[in-house]
Amino acid sequence: MLAGLKARRVAKLPSDVRFAGRVLFLAEAAGLVSRQLEGEDLTWSPAIKLRDNISTDEITPAYICYYYDATLGDFPYLGLKCGEDFPITRGAVKRGGFVASVSGKRRGKGSSREQSPYAEMCAGIRLVVAENIERIYRENCQNLGLLATTDFSIIDKVRRGEAIPLAAFTAGEGEITRGIIEYGGLFNFNVARLQGEVVLTAPATPRRAMTLGEKIIARHWVVDPSRGTIGVPAVRPGDEGFVVTDIRFSHEYVTPMAAIFFEQLVGPDEKVNDPGSVLMFRDHLTFLGEAMTPERVKEGLLDVALQLEKKQREFAARQGIKLYGELRLGHHGSEAICHSKILEGHAEPGTVIIGSDSHTPHAGAVGCLAFGVGTTAIFNSWITKDVRLTVPETVKITVRGKKPDNVTAKDFMLEILRHPYVKGGQAIGRLVEYCGDAVESLSVDERATMTNMTAEVGGFTGYVAPDEKTVAYLMEYRGLSRAAAARLCAGLTSDPDAEYCEVIEIDAGAIRPMMALPGDPGNGSYIDEAAERIRVDIAYAGSCTAGKKEDMDMYARVLAEAAERGERVAPWVRFFIQCGSQDVKRYCDEKGYLELFRKVGAQFLEPSCGACINAGPGVSKTREEVTISAINRNFPGRSGPGQLYLANPYTVAASAIAGHITEWQPGMALASKES
Ligand code: SF4
């Protein structure tokens, strides 16, 4: 493979770029967006209120990602919610002749799906302008060759068709990002690197006190790829380079697009580098047939989606890659959700893991550096086994004190997500170190709820330093001896005088059960402060975040009490419980939970992402439906068109019985007579 790539001709882009086309302002007012689609060009003024927090779910809703080729160009922004309206329809952006797309804060938050910038590119967008841009989305843009800036003065230059120096997009960037932009994308840059056309400056950071995240990066730093020299004494924030990975994984939403890039750009008969450390998962769409509307099925979308499974399965088989697949037991479901299985079966303290999914930090619960990357980065890692990275600054989040019994790691995260520093986007792209006695007292499962939701924080990744609980986890889940598990954890702590860009202190004792109001996980508030009773139609207990053994313990704790009182799920509520893996299901079976769930009227589902990604039982069907869910994000449209509230597992189970959102107290009666 490398011989072929070494002979490939790649060249840099010209030093000036021009944009021939219109500018699309993604405004809060649906009418303004519609007028642009009808042909009106708006004059830019800060008085135009731009949409903030445009997630990748809004740029390309989950069902759009069943496409993995240029067809995506028909669909950008189909999920964009402006007030109560969705003003952008299929093909409208492409027809409009737009070349630049402008929005407000935190553009591209949420899922790491590269289909979003790829859809924009395929619709003709070549430039993204936003007040700030989420890390993975920005990297995906760079990797694909889509230019991105936070400089709004560029809008007038685009309008005038002026030549804009490429340097305007590389200013302030490090050597590698600059190179990727100049080469028009990551693949060309990597080819130039393999050819010796690009020789990266050796890192020169002297020994210094480091955070745990920085230490893991330093240990994995690629110094000389031709000699396989790995590791430097120290790194500091801003150092840019490549790190060698221990595990690379992807799921069926991403693998097919990466496979196509691989086959087209590298060659259909070429082999990936070290397939033994690559894993693939069929987890997102196994229940899709039960969630897709008849209209979408009629449009052929179910058939399109099934191609994702087929393409991944064939590619994995051809490449000799381990695939955690779909069950074939007469019912739908997966062997495991990717994050669940990576944590249960693969992640080791101190390692580097990359995954095609924004919740890859889940595995940071055992003290590894696990982060999400886009399709192009995964595809390139199949060639080089490494991944680019700029050393982020580290935010330390200390949670101290004794939490109330009915408060969980989910509440810690909802509290953290509404902290002004996090809500204002200042943690974007940073390492997040969770510590303090309240974190130390959590199980690894609960720590994973925190590291998982680093995606919602917008962080590069999150981790918890390994300790005795990690040792016990590795012994239980991997069958390691105590000595072997302790060896893996040894020395993995932050130095006492390590530098943090911010320290956030949270008092666990002051937190009460929370809910995040629909629209954003940062909309947290205490349940006991709700102005009125919120009746629920659906309760969903599952996903990578909330489908672990300890989550099941929490649902079961509430439901066992309810069952003893003869209470059942409220008649008007549909309650779904779904594990993250077959291991968790076996655990539920052994503990008698499956029987308990059935007894109280909950519907148990085989492991899969399902409703969490709007692709399984538990999704809402109308805007009026209200869901209480233990998943990690509630962006518009995430789990159907309804109103999605997030809460901890106790709250979800208690609300299913009560029929309205309620926090849970041990021993409280829940059943409501309301109908
Ligand atoms: S369960 Fe939800 S958050 Fe987790 S990987 Fe699946 S879709 Fe993503």
Question: DSSP of 594-634, one letter per residue?
Answer: HHHHHHHTPEEE-SS-GGGGT-STT---STT-EEEE-SS--
Q: Which of 141-150, 198-207, 533-542, 565-574 has the lowest mean pLDDT?
A: 198-207
Cα(493) to centroid of ligand 1, in Å? 29
8-state DSSP, 40? P
Q: Across residues 358-373, what is the average pLDDT? A: 97
Whether 226 shows a pLDDT value over 80: the answer reads no
CA 361, chain centre distance (Å): 8
Residue closest via CA to ligand 1's atom 4 equals 544
Helix or strand (DSSP H, E) at 400:
strand 394-400
Cα-to-centroid distance, 566 and ligand 1 (Å): 33
What is the CA(578)–ligand 1 centre distance, in A?
12
Neighbours of 420 (CB within 10 A): 8
478-497: pLDDT as tens digits:
999 999 999 999 999 999 99
State the closest ligand 1 atom to the C-alpha of 547, by its place in the atom list counted from 1. 1
Q: Residues 452-483: pLDDT tens digits?
A: 999 999 999 999 999 999 999 999 999 999 99
Residue 427 tokens read as 């943690």
For residue 648, is pLDDT > 80? yes
Query: Residue with the nearest Cα to atom 2 of ligand 1?
Result: 612
pLDDT, residue 673, reads 61
If 0-12 CB within 10 Å is exposed, 13-18 middle and 19+ buried, where does residue 59 land? Answer: buried
* CA distances from residue 187 to 10, 122, 382 in whole angstroms, order as listed: 10, 18, 11
Kindly give the distance from the C-alpha atom of residue 550 to the centroid of ligand 1, in angstroms, as a whole number: 17
DSSP state of 273: S
Alpha carbon of 613 to ligand 1 centroid (Å): 6
- DSSP helix/strand/coil, 469: helix
Q: What is the pLDDT of residue 441?
A: 98
Residue 446 confidence (pLDDT) above 80: yes
- Give me ligand 1 centre to Cα 457, in Å: 16
Mutate-to-test residue for ligand 1 from 254, 340, 632, 634, highest number of ligand atoms within 8 A of CB: 632
| CA-111 nearest atom, ligand 1 | 8
Q: How far apart are the CA of 544 and the centre of ligand 1, in A?
A: 6
Percent of the chain with pLDDT over 70: 99
Report whether 410 contacts 648 (CB < 8 A): yes
Q: From the alpha carbon of 251, which atom of ligand 1 is closest?
A: 5
Which of the four pLDDT bands, split at 50, 70 and 90, describes residue 56? very high
Considering the chain, what percentage of its residues have pLDDT values greater than 90? 88
Cross-strand bridge partners of residue 604: 577
* Phi, psi (deg, nearest 5) at residue 222: -85, 115
Ligand 1 center from residue 196 Cα (angstroms): 39
Q: Is the pLDDT of residue 63 over 90?
A: no
- Rounded to the nearest angstrom, the distance between the alpha carbon of 211 and the centre of ligand 1 is 28
Cα 2 to averaged position of ligand 1 atoms, centre (Å): 34
Minimum-distance ligand 1 atom for the alpha carbon of 358: 8
Mutate to test the pocket of ligand 1, among 339, 358, 410, 413 (most ligand atoms within 8 A of CB): 339
Indicate the top mutation candidate among 115, 251, 284, 548 to test ligand 1's pocket, ranked by most ligand atoms within 8 A of CB.
284
Q: Taking residues 513-538, report their average pLDDT.
A: 97
Is 551 a residue whose pLDDT tops 70?
Answer: yes
The set of protein residues with a Cβ atom below 6 angstroms from ligand 1 is 284, 337, 339, 357, 359, 543-544, 609, 612-613, 631-632
Q: Which of 543, 634, 635 to mutate to test the pocket of ligand 1 (most atoms within 8 A of CB)?
A: 543
Residue 331 pLDDT > 70: no
From 608, 612, 635, the mutation candidate for ligand 1 (largest count of ligand atoms within 8 A of CB) is 612
Query: Rounded to the nearest whole angstrom, what is the distance from the C-alpha of residue 377 to the centroid of ligand 1?
Result: 20
Q: How many CB atoms lie within 10 A of CB 525?
A: 14
> Is 234:206 a contact under the CB 8 Å cutoff?
yes
Q: What is the pLDDT of residues 97-129, one digit of tens each?
A: 999 999 999 999 987 789 999 999 999 999 999
Report helix, strand or coil for 396. strand
Give the chain's mean pLDDT.
Answer: 95
Phi, psi of 332 (to 5 degrees): -75, 165
Tell me the CA–centroid distance for residue 358 and ligand 1, in Å: 9
Would you list the DSSP string of 543-579? STTT-SHHHHHHHHHHHHHHHHTT--S-TT-EEEEE-
Say whether pLDDT at 636 is over 90. Answer: no
pLDDT over threshold 60, residue 74:
yes
Q: What is the mean pLDDT of residues 133-160?
A: 94
Looking at the predicted structure, is the pLDDT value of residue 263 above 90? yes
Tell which one of 281, 362, 544, 551 to mutate to probe ligand 1, the residue whose CB is within 8 A of the most ligand atoms.
Answer: 544
Q: Is the pLDDT of residue 428 over 80?
A: yes
CA angle 330, 67, 1 (to 5 degrees): 95
Q: How far apart are the C-alpha atoms of 548 and 542, rounded to whole Å? A: 8
CA pair distance 349, 213, nearest whole angstrom: 11
Phi then psi for residue 451, to 5 deg, are -65, -40
pLDDT of residue 404 exceeding 90 = yes
pLDDT digits (tens, 9 = 90+) for 585-607: 999 999 999 999 999 999 999 99
Q: What pLDDT score was predicted for residue 501?
A: 98
The first and second tokens of residue 355, run together, are 């995954």
* Mean pLDDT for the stretch of residues 419-447: 97
pLDDT bucket at 7, cuts 50 / 70 / 90: confident
Lowest mean pLDDT among 1-5, 129-133, 430-434: 1-5
